[in-house]
Amino acid sequence: MRILSGIQPSGALHLGNYFGMMQPAIELQHEGEAFYFIADYHSMTSLFDAEERRKNTLGVALDFLACGLDPEKTVFFKQSDVPEVTELTWLLMTLTPMGLLERCHSYKDKVARGLPVNAGLFTYPVLMAADILIYDSNVVPVGQDQKQHVEVTRDLAIKFNETYGQTFILPEPRIRAATAKVPGTDGAKMSKSYGNTIEIFGDEKRLRKRVMSIVMDSRTPEEPKPDADQNTAIRLLRLVAPPEVAQEYEDRLRAGGLGYGDLKKKLFECYWAFFEEPRKRRAELEKNLDYVQEVLRKGAEKARSVAAVTLDRARRACGLV
């Protein structure tokens, strides 16, 4: 089984990225042959600062390795080190109906929010389809927001296979219900683009502030809260605390008598403990950046050899060769 996923180096990684994608992906490493990459080409649709991209790319590499990606088992690389993927994007683009892309939420949301959109952003799902298809991927672990993109990938694979003969494998998204949509500090989906994130790594004082800034309602501590399971801090606590601790705090909130400040303090404590080991590993890796670059270089070499074979198959199928 080939497992594949990618993440953009468009900012510091957060709890949504971790529980929605990284943790499931890291667990899946042992169930098949995993290919994970840093989607730097994709980041070009929204980030226009070269130095920032370089810094974030290294940051994502450190974060993934610190969180348990095993480079001995998993092929870990930078998307742009396999330029074959852009050629496959072109082949797929010629079979992509405009309407299919016009219906994609990620693009529609940006238009709705009045953000400037470029052709790269519009065709972003085709590049993502090429990422998935070029490695003959079976399973794609992602958060809920990427489900539609995997469906587009399947549509394009079917269209190509129907037009030019069997060439691509149809991938399946793998989405964990419990962590498909991790809430941010404002209760909406945690996302780099909404400014509501709690990062995985960073300065303790700043991150404590982020946790304490989680938006709560104005009910008094004494008031019983029958909707305790919907509370953002409780939802996050369930991810980072032992189950009995999360249950205890949820029960206390429901019964009344627990202040939001105390709840958030507990959340910070559990979150900080949860990432203690990865934090230590990250600090070690930061002292050994040559090793990190070497992991990415080796990963690119392996990924490129696999991509070349698929691209050749596709080129032959459509009559370029």
Binding site for ligand TRP (CB under 6 A): 4-8, 39, 42, 128, 131-132, 140, 142, 146, 149
Contact partner at residue 190 from ligand TRP, ligand ADP, none, CB < 5 to 8 Å by partner kind: ligand ADP
Residue 310 contact, options ligand TRP, ligand ADP, none, Cβ 5-8 Å cut-off depending on partner type: none
Q: Is 238 in the site for ligand ADP (CB under 6 A)?
A: no
Greatest Cα-to-Cα distance within the chain, rounded to the nearest angstrom: 74
**Does 127 engage in binding with ligand ADP (CB under 6 A)?**
no
Residue 78 interacts with ligand ADP (CB under 6 A): yes or no? no
User: Of 74 and 231, which has the nearer Cβ to ligand TRP?
Assistant: 74
Residue closer to ligand TRP, measured from CB, 42 or 282:
42
Nearest-CA neighbor of 206 among 268, 266, 286? 268
Helix intervals (H) in 165-231 = 204-212
Question: Buried (b) or exposed (e) across 262-272, using 16+ Cβ within 10 A?
Answer: ebbebbbebbe
Closest approach, Cβ 158 to ligand TRP, in A, equals: 18
286 C-beta neighbours (distance < 10 Å), count: 12
Q: Which residues sit opposite 35 in a β-bridge?
A: 4, 75
Annotated active-site residue in 78, 110, 225, 264 = 110
Order across the sheet with 172-174: list the strands. 75-78, 33-38, 2-7, 139-141, 172-174
245 sits in which H/E element: helix 243-255
Q: Is 1 exposed, middle or buried (0-12, 13-18, 19+ CB in 10 A)?
A: exposed
The 10 Å CB-count burial string (b at 16+, else e) for 203-233 is: eeeebbebbeebeeeeeeeeeebeebeebbb
- Nearest position to ligand TRP, beta carbon: 6
* Smallest distance from ligand TRP to CB 5, Å: 4
Q: Name the closest residue to ligand ADP (Cβ).
A: 20
Closest distance between ligand TRP and the C-beta of residue 193, in Å?
10
x/- track of binding to ligand ADP for residues 9-38 (CB under 6 A): -x-----xx--xx-----------------
Tell me whether residue 159 is one of the annotated catalytic residues: no
Identify the CA nearest to 201 among candidates 266, 286, 260, 263. 286
Q: Which one, 46 or 167, has the nearer CB to ligand ADP?
A: 46
Q: Which of 61, 121, 190, 258 binds ligand ADP (CB under 6 A)?
A: 190
265 in active site = no
Helix or strand (DSSP H, E) at 270? helix 260-274
Instruction: Find out whether 36 and 6 touch, Cβ atoms under 8 Å.
Output: yes
> What tokens were used for 155?
């549509």
Partner that binds at residue 131, options ligand TRP, ligand ADP, none, CB closer than 5 to 8 Å by kind? ligand TRP
For the question of residue 78 being annotated catalytic, the response is: no
Which residue carries 């996923």 as its tokens? 5
Choose, by CB under 6 A, the member of 23, 138, 148, 193 that binds ligand ADP: 193
The item of ligand TRP, ligand ADP, none sharing an interface with residue 16, based on CB under 5 to 8 Å by kind, is ligand ADP
Provide the minimum distance between the beta carbon of 167 and ligand ADP in the complex, in angstroms, as a whole number. 26
Active-site positions read: 110, 189, 192
Q: What is the contact surface with ligand ADP in residues (CB under 6 A)?
A: 7-8, 10, 16-17, 20-21, 142-143, 145-146, 179-182, 189-193
